[in-house]
Structure 1
Amino acid sequence: MKSVPVIAIFDIGKTNKKFFLIDEYYKIVLERTAHFKETVDDDGDPCEDIDLLTNWVKQSLQDIFALKKFDIKALNFSTYGASFVHIDQDGKVAGPLCNYLKAFPDELKDEFYARYGGEAEVSSKTASPVLGNLNSGMQLYRIKHRKPELYARIKYSLHLPQYLNFLVSGVFCSDITSIGCHTQLWDFVKNDYHDWVYQEGIDSILAPLFPSDSAMTTVIEGNEYHVGSGLHDSSSALIPYLTSFSEPFILISTGTWCISLNPFNDNPLTVDELNKDCLCYMEYHGRPVKASRLFAGNEHEKQTKRIAEHFNKPLDHFKKVKYNAEYILKDDGAAGASGQALMQQSLFGDRNLSAFSSYEEAYHCLIRDIMIQQQASTTLVIQDTNVKRIFVDGGFGKNVVYMNLLAAAFPHLEVFAASVAQATAIGAALSIHKHWNTKPVPGDMIELKYYAMSHKMEVE
């Protein structure tokens, strides 16, 4: 029996660690998932257990290389961002993998921005709001100034995807999708590291950049493999869409956050946009992707719990709600909401649930309130980019109330619910397609469902 040519992909999320084999037609032929308990860092704060993750990656590779029915041609990696693994002179992990949710010291933050021109100056050049440890460059600044003993041991600090690459290839490299994603390391104006990185000497522990669409050749147990440098997961999930569609589009990636991504918008971020939680990701060819973020999935989870308790329904009852335009046409003045406060929380949290006659009516109001935010957030990144389509992936793409209201909110655009099975892993495979796959990229990777406008939604 002839072995099946495949690419191996490690897709590492905060909760789920996944390993895939993907064939030349971009079908997943093997999937394994693991979950690890967190450990604590040297300050006693919770963090990823890098030893458990390292051992799992090594064991997974050992197991898969032993399977004769697959012919592994290449490997690549996608992981969550804002996370550094520090490597010492002997190639060993030198310290804990800091959790990006860890609090950043206020006095150190104030010292940094006072030294380097202020928050607005640094943020506008690095295309990122001030986010503490979520700006991964600030983790390195903190280590240098608060943990000098650790800093002295570091040969290279690798973002997590490039650490996984290092485990396989032994090569130290950096990748632009990680370096360019809300790290405050990369100056989008001069297309180089920000001046503060050079002034602090932190560039010396950042490995050389390696192209995201290239692969290095690595020999493992006498066999040659093409190995990608690894990708930041948000940038990786965008690749199937960039591969499939050439006309300008917006992708709204929905989950806990609803992130509107416009790969066709290279306008510089303004201070107002930064204040409204806009930032830039980096597309795998090194082009900025303007994005706006909304905490809508979190808001939906909180408010559906409140509605369920009030109407004595199961927590997931919203999945059974069918779209009813009559609920939306009721005018309660919500459309008049505007301003920066709108981007922080929806109007629904202040609503009296006793005013609604049913769960369904209350739920439609919740999604309408969220949609007022969503329209404002997505509009921030459309601008003058000739966008004709909006694609929605993730949980809200399966929500008929949300999708109908989105179509109404953007009547001049085509709105689609879109789905790609394991988009992040598929994107990592596509990024190095030319290095392992002799077949053309299939045209049916993305499933689309079109939503026509059923009525016009006015938002001022």
Structure 2
Amino acid sequence: MQQTPVIAVFDVGKTNKKLFLFNEHYKIVHEKSARFLETVDEDGDACENLESLRLGMFDSLREVFSRQEFAVKAVNFSTYGASFVYVDEDGAPLSPLYNYLKPYPEQLKRQFYNTYGGDEQFSRQTASPVLGSLNSGMQLYRLKYEKPELFHKIKYALHLPQYLSYLISGRAFSEITSIGCHTNLWDFTKGGYHEWVSKEGILEKLAPLVSPDSVVPVAFQGHSYAVGVGLHDSSAALIPYLVNFQEPFVLLSTGTWCISLNPFNTTPLTAEELQNDCLCYLQYKGKPVKASRFFGGYEHEQQVKRIAAHFNQNTARYKAVAFEPEMISKLQREAFSVARRGEPQGHVSLFGRRDLSSFACDVEAYHQLILDLVTQQVASTQLVLEGAVVKRVFVDGGFSKNPIYMNLLASFYPEKEVFAASMAQATAIGTALTIHRHWNTKQMPRDIIALKYYAVTHDTSI
């Protein structure tokens, strides 16, 4: 039997943990999904079950290597960010994987920012809004002062993608997409670790910093393959677009959070942008990516339930509502007096304050919901568009399949080309592409993203 060369990619989200096998054309030839029950830390806060994750990963690898039709050439990892695993000299975890939503002590936070220049100055330097535990460097700072004995035992603090890589390769590394993602660790003004990292003894707990395209040769159950060092998932999802498109673009990645990513905006973050939860990532080649976010997918889910309940409908009905421009025009005329410019992206849209009994039917209410969400989305996306000439907007994820959303977004950006982008598992493909040269004998693919262009069909203004 002729074996198909593949790369195995572990894509670990907060809810779903997935394994994908891609062939050399980046087509999925095998996938497996699992969910693990959360556990709790010593304070009773929910957190990832590290042991279940470890066992699940090794079980999946053993299964893959036992399949004669595949020849595994490489393994790589992408996971959610802002999560550290602290390992001792023997590589054993010293603590639970603390949840990035874990409340952060206010007194300790004030101590930190007062010591290192204040919220505004420090946030500008590190391109990190003040987010508590979501700034993963602050988790290490907390351990130093609240659990000094544990802190002393730490050999390495590994972000979750690098910990998974370490489990397979036995080599500990840090890499830039995890270190450079609202961690408070990286000084964007200097292009290196912030001075506090050294002063507080954090630097010695961080593994050597390597490029995201680095690999380690490994043998497992008689098989030899390359192991990548892992990536932060938001950065990984951007990679296929950077590979396929050279002209400046903004990627609007829609899900629970709708994140606007502009890899072509090099302007420094302003205090106002930081206050509005705008930040910078470091992409896989080490360049900054300005990003803003809006809780649009979550709000859509909640408000659809409200509409369905009010009009006695099934929520599934709203997965395929056709775009009716005349209805939008009517809504804009009638609601003009209460409409307002979108608030910064951390806020909800206007729809939650609307009286559903004022709508003639549920479809009209749903059009108003999408109009309010897109109004808010444009306000959020505008934060990363300022200071950069961008002619294309790519939308992927759930809203890319919503014709009302896509038509309205195109109307708000008549001077730009707006596309719904379709690609199966962008994060996992980006993770595989990062180490393409180490396992794939074929040319880098240029046709893995399907685009649908939305022309301006309706005169809409905010």
CA deviations 1:180-210 (Å, max 9, x no partner) are 0011111111011111111111011011111
Unaligned residue ranges in structure 1 (runs of 5+) = none
Point out the more displaced range, 436-445 or 164-173.
436-445
Distance 1:195 1:394 in 2: 38
Matching residue of 2:199: 199
Residue 441 of structure 1 and its aligned partner are, at CA, apart by 2.1
Does residue 20 (structure 1) correspond to residue 20 (structure 2)? The answer is yes
Asked whether the equivalents of residues 295 and 345 of structure 2 are also in contact (C-alpha less than 8 Å), the reply is no
Letter matched to residue 252 of structure 1:
L
Matching residue of 1:285: 285
Alignment CA distance shift 1:364-1:340 (3 Å): closer
Distance 2:414 2:201 in 1: 51
SS of residue in 1 equivalent to 2:383 = helix
Distance 1:81 1:448 in 2: 28
Letter matched to residue 5 of structure 1:
P
Alignment CA distance shift 1:188-1:36 (3 Å): same
Which of 414, 434, 437 matches 2:437? 434
CA deviations 1:1-50 (Å, max 9, x no partner) are 11110111111111111111110010111111111000111222110000
Residue 341 of structure 1 and its aligned partner are, at CA, apart by 5.8
Asked whether the equivalents of residues 276 and 344 of structure 2 are also in contact (C-alpha less than 8 Å), the reply is no
Distance 1:334 1:75 in 2: 56
Matching residue of 2:56: 56
Does residue 376 (structure 1) correspond to residue 379 (structure 2)? The answer is yes
Asked whether the equivalents of residues 343 and 373 of structure 1 are also in contact (C-alpha less than 8 Å), the reply is no
Asked whether the equivalents of residues 50 and 97 of structure 1 are also in contact (C-alpha less than 8 Å), the reply is yes
Distance 1:222 1:126 in 2: 44
Residue 101 of structure 1 and its aligned partner are, at CA, apart by 1.0
Distance 2:434 2:290 in 1: 20
SS of residue in 1 equivalent to 2:143 = helix
Asked whether the equivalents of residues 304 and 318 of structure 2 are also in contact (C-alpha less than 8 Å), the reply is yes
Letter matched to residue 424 of structure 1:
T
Residue 334 of structure 1 and its aligned partner are, at CA, apart by 6.5
Asked whether the equivalents of residues 335 and 458 of structure 1 are also in contact (C-alpha less than 8 Å), the reply is no
Matching residue of 1:329: 329
Matching residue of 2:147: 147
Matching residue of 1:319: 319
Asked whether the equivalents of residues 335 and 372 of structure 1 are also in contact (C-alpha less than 8 Å), the reply is no
Asked whether the equivalents of residues 334 and 369 of structure 1 are also in contact (C-alpha less than 8 Å), the reply is no
Distance 1:342 1:220 in 2: 46
Residue 124 of structure 1 and its aligned partner are, at CA, apart by 0.9
Alignment CA distance shift 1:239-1:375 (3 Å): same
Distance 1:339 1:75 in 2: 43
Distance 1:340 1:152 in 2: 45
Write out aligned runs for 1:4-403 (5 A). Answer: 4-330=4-330, 331=333, 332-333=335-336, 337-338=340-341, 340=343, 343-403=346-406
SS of residue in 2 equivalent to 1:224 = strand
Percent identical residues: 59
Residue 218 of structure 1 and its aligned partner are, at CA, apart by 2.0
Asked whether the equivalents of residues 249 and 264 of structure 2 are also in contact (C-alpha less than 8 Å), the reply is yes
Distance 1:109 1:316 in 2: 44
Residue 317 of structure 1 and its aligned partner are, at CA, apart by 2.0
Which of 416, 419, 428 matches 2:419? 416
Distance 1:334 1:454 in 2: 24
Matching residue of 1:405: 408
Letter matched to residue 158 of structure 1:
L
Distance 1:300 1:372 in 2: 13
The two structures have a TM-score, normalised by structure 1, of: 0.97
Unaligned residue ranges in structure 2 (runs of 5+) = none
Distance 1:402 1:339 in 2: 16
Alignment CA distance shift 1:151-1:177 (3 Å): same
Distance 2:365 2:141 in 1: 47
CA deviations 1:196-241 (Å, max 9, x no partner) are 1111110110111111122222233444311111000010011111
RMSD across aligned C-alpha pairs, in angstroms?
1.3
Letter matched to residue 239 of structure 1:
I
Asked whether the equivalents of residues 80 and 232 of structure 1 are also in contact (C-alpha less than 8 Å), the reply is yes
SS of residue in 2 equivalent to 1:329 = helix
The two structures have a TM-score, normalised by structure 2, of: 0.97
Alignment CA distance shift 1:410-1:425 (3 Å): same
Residue 446 of structure 1 and its aligned partner are, at CA, apart by 0.8
Alignment CA distance shift 1:447-1:341 (3 Å): closer
SS of residue in 2 equivalent to 1:344 = coil
Distance 1:10 1:59 in 2: 12
Distance 1:335 1:322 in 2: 25
Asked whether the equivalents of residues 276 and 340 of structure 1 are also in contact (C-alpha less than 8 Å), the reply is no
Asked whether the equivalents of residues 177 and 235 of structure 2 are also in contact (C-alpha less than 8 Å), the reply is yes
Alignment CA distance shift 1:22-1:39 (3 Å): same
Distance 1:89 1:340 in 2: 49
Distance 2:275 2:222 in 1: 53
Distance 1:448 1:340 in 2: 30
CA deviations 1:139-197 (Å, max 9, x no partner) are 11111111112111110010000001101110010010000001111111101111111
Distance 1:257 1:404 in 2: 20
